Amino acid sequence: MNIVLTGFMASGKTEVSKAVASMSKYKLIDTDDMIVEKEGMSINEIFERHGEEYFRRTEHECVCRAAAMDNMVIATGGGVVLNKSNIDALRKNGMIFNLAPDFEVIEERLAGAAATRPLLRKGGLEDVRRRFNDRLPFYKDCDYSVHVIKGRTPQSYAMEILAEMEKARV
Ligand code: S3P
């Protein structure tokens, strides 16, 4: 079984997935990293050169490759939930965890991050807020929702996630 982490950008998927991997037997894989490696350019460049639709197609290919692995903690990009076939593939051999912060937490974490985030760069914070609200129903399609609050460590979320995985096994 895999542990799949979903959640809006800056919800903490990268840090929490690293903590899960370091505290368990699960090996870490990040679908954004797979995309960058496959395309040989940054996510920003993929958006700029080929557009979002192309990015989403590549993302789907990488998600399917990750979903076919086993005993992985899979960190996904914030938009993975938008394509139901991504979630269907990931759920076949995985439990889907959603990291769910309030928008204020995202806003604080994104301050000054425009250079590295194509969506923030393109539409600014208001566009990001709109996407956040539009996506809430998609993030609800998970097996377990983790409420993200300011000040809690990645390790404490990882412990919660690993405990849920144990429960699901028995
Ligand atoms: C995206 C989130 C990013 C990355 C891409 C698109 C999104 O991943 O996949 O920029 O649509 O929310 P993170 O959630 O890891 O920032």
pLDDT at 118: 83
pLDDT at 169: 78
Atom of ligand 1 at shortest distance to CA of 76? 15
Q: How far apart are alpha carbons 170 and 167 in whole angstroms?
A: 6
Q: What is the mean pLDDT of each run of 10 residues along the chain (170 residues)?
A: 96 97 98 98 95 97 98 97 97 97 93 80 88 96 96 97 91
Residue of 107, 108, 117, 147 whose CA lies nearest to 16: 147
pLDDT at 163: 97
Q: Is 63 in the pocket of ligand 1 (CB under 6 A)?
A: no
How many C-beta atoms lie closer than 10 Å to residue 154's C-beta? 18
Is residue 96 a contact partner of residue 144, using CB atoms and an 8 Å limit? Answer: yes
**How far apart are the CA of 55 and the centre of ligand 1, in A?**
10
Dihedral sign, Cα of residue 31, residue 130, residue 110, residue 21: negative
Residues 6+ apart with CB under 8 A from 56: 79, 82, 83
Query: Which residues, listed in sequence order, are joined to residue 101 by a DSSP beta bridge?
Result: 148
Nearest CA to ligand 1 atom 5: 77
pLDDT at 170: 72
Q: Is 32 in the pocket of ligand 1 (CB under 6 A)?
A: yes
Q: At what angle do helices 118-139 and 103-110 cross, to 10 degrees?
A: 160
What residue has token string 């290919």? 61
Atom of ligand 1 at shortest distance to CA of 9? 14
**How far apart are the CA of 170 and the centre of ligand 1, in A?**
33
Using most ligand atoms within 8 A of CB, pick from 5, 8, 9, 83 the residue to mutate for ligand 1.
9
